[in-house]
Chains A and B, each alone.
Chain A
Amino acid sequence: MKKAFNYVSAALFFIFCGIFAVSTLFLSDKLPDVTPREGLAEDTEKFVCDNFPLQANWRSMYSSIVTAAGQSRIGNVYISDDALIEIISKADENKTNELVERINTLALDHPNVAFYSLIVPTASGIYSEELPMMITALDQQKLIDDIYFKLDSSIHTLDAYTPLFSARADYVYFRTDNRWTEYGAYTVYNKVIRKLGFSPVRLSSYDMEYADREFYGDLYSKTYYKGVGADLINIFKNKNGSFVTGVTSWSDGVEFNSSSIYYTPALSTSNKLDLFLGGNSFEKCRIMTSNTDAPKLLMIKGSYSNMFVPFLTPHYSEITLIDPQQLEGTTIEEAVDIDSFDQVLILYDVSKFC
């Protein structure tokens, strides 16, 4: 009797392991990447973790267990009553200095172009006072001030912290993603656009269209915590019609053309925020508008930029976005002629410095 149960126990263990191992190796959607990156062991462990079956179920179970045990934090994500907040606890000084140095060099090399810097706090910075005192969140206002202090005096600095902090009770950040909402972007636009030399378009001039009501962002994918409701993706449509006449994007040197800044097929993928300018997959993107006499803007972009662009289209004849992260082996100067623009806007969120 004992022996029979022992055999059953051992067999169950090996069968369970065997099924999952075989599924990982042979039934995965993803093909093993044979290009060695970090070494055989690391690459194998990464492959196993990425392809292990029922990923979402395991992680969702983990979230349920830890939240049932009274924890309000999963990794670096804090679970509040109605949102997931990625905690940024400290800045990377070397990274900050390096980035500041690069921005300064760029501005000093092009003295005839007006440079603007907009550093946007993340939800962790805006809601830091509402986080439990046991969670150490970086003072993002101080970090932004420090960065602005280090920037060359020729660069105009734009304040995103104050408008976002004032509107913190509104839907300015996604509940399940670490980026800002269209409304969050509008709030900042409304405050900073005067410094760029324009009057803001009133909120009442926009029709709000719900592009998606079931959006679960990257923080959900990190935690699989189901206690927070789905997000809404809004599109702010100008009542006077779109100013955009054409969008040209480049990815790995290949050109893509479109007539809209909204890439609607993204709504049926897992990266629904790619709706805005196709996400972060392009190294360069040029938006042409009907305001042919208006100035030209070059935007050096981070992950928050795509949601900001729709509000800028009524003011510029051309907006070119450059993503330095996608420019492999090419400098910004090689990718665009900076002196041909009237203004350069550097838009990063705080996480870029952490």
Chain B
Amino acid sequence: MNFTSITFLYFFLPAFFLIYAVTKPAYRAYIMLIGSCTVICWGSPYGLVPLAISVLISYLCSLCIDSLRDRKKLSVLLLIVSLLTNLAAVVLFCSLPTVRSRLFTAIGAGIYALHSAAYTFDVYRNECEAVRSPLRLAAYISFLPSLCGIPLVKPKETIGQMKETSVRSDMLTDGILLLLFGIAAKVIVGDRLYTLFQELEASAKGDLSMLMSWLGAFIFGFSVFARLKGYACIAQGFGMMLGFRIGPSFDYPYSKTTLREYLASYNISAYSFVQRYVFRPIAGSETNQARTLTASAVSLVVICASYRPSASFLIWGAGAALFISLEIILDSRLSHVPRPVRFIMTHMLTVIGWAVISQKTAVSSLEYVAHMLTGALTLDTTPLLYYFRSAAPLFVLILLFESKSLRNAVAKLEERSVSPITVIKPVLILTLLVMVTVFLMSGSVQSGIL
């Protein structure tokens, strides 16, 4: 079930929430599991197979690891078995075209394999207790709000919160508002920008000028950001409605000056997941530059594969690894470069990165980048102005909602005993609900994240 659909918003969400709210807190995890299974089955009942594999293997391995703590080698072996089986589950998930095409539009790709791997790893490192109830573990692995593909949630915090969730009126209202804001960001801004990008590509018929290709990459980049941000807000809001506190997934990436900062602030949960479970184990605690670079490269491959296992994403991962390595190697020299220049350099590189993943095949990705770098310098004003004029209001909207000053102003207002935000919340909720319904009913909604 797509989280940006009328069926979800008007039927599944209210019905599920009511059942969840009237259930005793001790049993809410099971209701969540039923909800997750419903969402997965809505896409394809076969989606339950990799979930079952992930749950079974991480449940058995974590219990064995927990009881065999003194036998280090066996624990490592069990950890490897768990990681490989989860990897196999992802491959199974991705290799069946009919299942994949229907599931990828309904839920995030392989999110439960990543949750399962994270859980087993944390049990191995004794940072999380082994869960005795397989159903509770299944509720974490298939964490319902995250089924839209973002964010990855940490095992210890989430399993801990599951034991004592409480539905609170303030969290419920904020959650509804955030969820509606997320749907709006996705269907009003993200999908429109993506449609514009598709129109731009179709109208150019493979012959983009330099300026048009840059504008196209900008539009695509902002569309992905709005869609990811939308889904992250939906998950965060849905989680709050159910009594879970899920951290934000973005930390103003468009204000960052280095590639590393940008990457760390863009989809924070994926970044911290990779850093915790991939980068640190490979890089170790020593300050060895070769190991650090290897760890960066592997981490980027995992990040891009978690978005979509495709050649374009691998090129993006390789390019990002190269430029981040250069950033690490040239760190002392780059520190002398004025901040505005570094800002422009970083964001030009990220736009090129967006151009790479905007294409379906490796060849078309490279061709698109070639247009950006060596395309004709013609000033084709009519289409350029048309696309710029169409995209500009949406760019402004994104930058407005991504401005720290707006956030600070809202936070300050909320601190007051009678906040104007609280007073206008009912109006905001109804306005957003009407707006998203208008767009959901228009048939212009695109499924999936990328």
Chain A residues with a Cβ under 8 A of chain B:
1-3, 5-10, 12-14, 16-18, 20-21, 24, 41, 44-45, 48-49, 52, 55, 58-59, 61-62, 65, 69-71, 73-75, 89, 132-136
CA distance A41 to B386 in the complex (A): 39
CB<8 Å pairs between A and B, sample of 8: A8-B426, A13-B430, A21-B10, A45-B7, A48-B7, A59-B441, A62-B439, A69-B393
Within 8 A of A (CB), among B248-276: none
**Chain B residues, Cβ within 8 Å of A70:** 389-390
Binary contact readout B28-56 vs A (1 if CB under 8 angstroms, 0 otherwise) = 00000000000001110000000000000
- For chain B, the count of residues having a C-beta within 8 Å of the partner chain is 49
A14 & B203 in contact (Cβ 8 Å cutoff): no
Cβ 8 A contact of B438, one of A8, A65, A69, A75: A65
**Chain B residues, Cβ within 8 Å of A16:** 430, 433
Cβ 8 A contact of A5, one of B200, B422, B443: B422
CA distance A5 to B172 in the complex (A): 12
B170 & A6 in contact (Cβ 8 Å cutoff): yes
Is chain A's interface secondary structure helix, strand, loop, or mixed overall?
helix
Nearest B residue (CB) for A7: B169
Nearest A residue (CB) for B416: A2
Cβ 8 A contact of A12, one of B41, B203, B429, B443: B429
A3 & B170 in contact (Cβ 8 Å cutoff): yes
Chain B residues with a Cβ under 8 A of chain A:
1, 5-7, 9-11, 13-14, 17-18, 41-43, 169-170, 172-173, 176-177, 199-200, 202-203, 205, 382-383, 386-387, 389-390, 393, 417-419, 422-423, 425-426, 429-430, 433, 437-439, 441-444
**Chain A residues, Cβ within 8 Å of B202:** 89, 136
Nearest A residue (CB) for B380: A133
Cβ 8 A contact of A134, one of B41, B176, B383, B426: B383
B6 & A6 in contact (Cβ 8 Å cutoff): no
Nearest B residue (CB) for A71: B390
**Chain A residues, Cβ within 8 Å of B11:** 21, 48
CA distance A62 to B6 in the complex (A): 15
A20 & B10 in contact (Cβ 8 Å cutoff): yes
How far, in Å, is B233 (CB) from chain A's closest CB?
16
Given contacts A2-B422, A13-B176, A13-B433, 5 further A-B contacts (CB under 8 A): A2-B418, A6-B172, A41-B1, A61-B438, A74-B442
**Chain A residues, Cβ within 8 Å of B42:** 41
Cβ 8 A contact of B386, one of A61, A89, A132: A132
B444 & A75 in contact (Cβ 8 Å cutoff): yes
Knowing A14-B14, A17-B14, A52-B441, say if A5 contacts B6 (CB, 8 Å): no
**Chain B residues, Cβ within 8 Å of A48:** 6-7, 10-11
How far, in Å, is B412 (CB) from chain A's closest CB?
16
**Chain B residues, Cβ within 8 Å of A55:** 441
A62 & B442 in contact (Cβ 8 Å cutoff): yes
Interface centre among A5, A9, A73, A89 (most CB of B within 10 A): A9
Nearest A residue (CB) for B241: A10
Nearest B residue (CB) for A14: B14
CA distance A135 to B17 in the complex (A): 44
Nearest A residue (CB) for B176: A13
Q: Top 8 A-B pairs ranked by shortest CB distance? A: A58-B441, A62-B442, A6-B169, A6-B173, A9-B173, A9-B425, A9-B426, A134-B203
Knowing A5-B425, A9-B426, A10-B173, say if A58 contacts B442 (CB, 8 Å): yes
B14 & A18 in contact (Cβ 8 Å cutoff): yes
B430 & A59 in contact (Cβ 8 Å cutoff): no
**Chain A residues, Cβ within 8 Å of B18:** 14
How far, in Å, is B48 (CB) from chain A's closest CB?
14
CA distance A136 to B198 in the complex (A): 11
**Chain B residues, Cβ within 8 Å of A61:** 438
CA distance A310 to B10 in the complex (A): 49
Nearest B residue (CB) for A41: B42
CA distance A1 to B418 in the complex (A): 7
A134 & B9 in contact (Cβ 8 Å cutoff): no
Nearest B residue (CB) for A58: B441
A17 & B13 in contact (Cβ 8 Å cutoff): yes
**Chain A residues, Cβ within 8 Å of B433:** 13, 16-17
B438 & A9 in contact (Cβ 8 Å cutoff): no
How far, in Å, is A66 (CB) from chain B's closest CB?
8
How far, in Å, is A218 (CB) from chain B's closest CB?
14
How far, in Å, is A331 (CB) from chain B's closest CB?
32
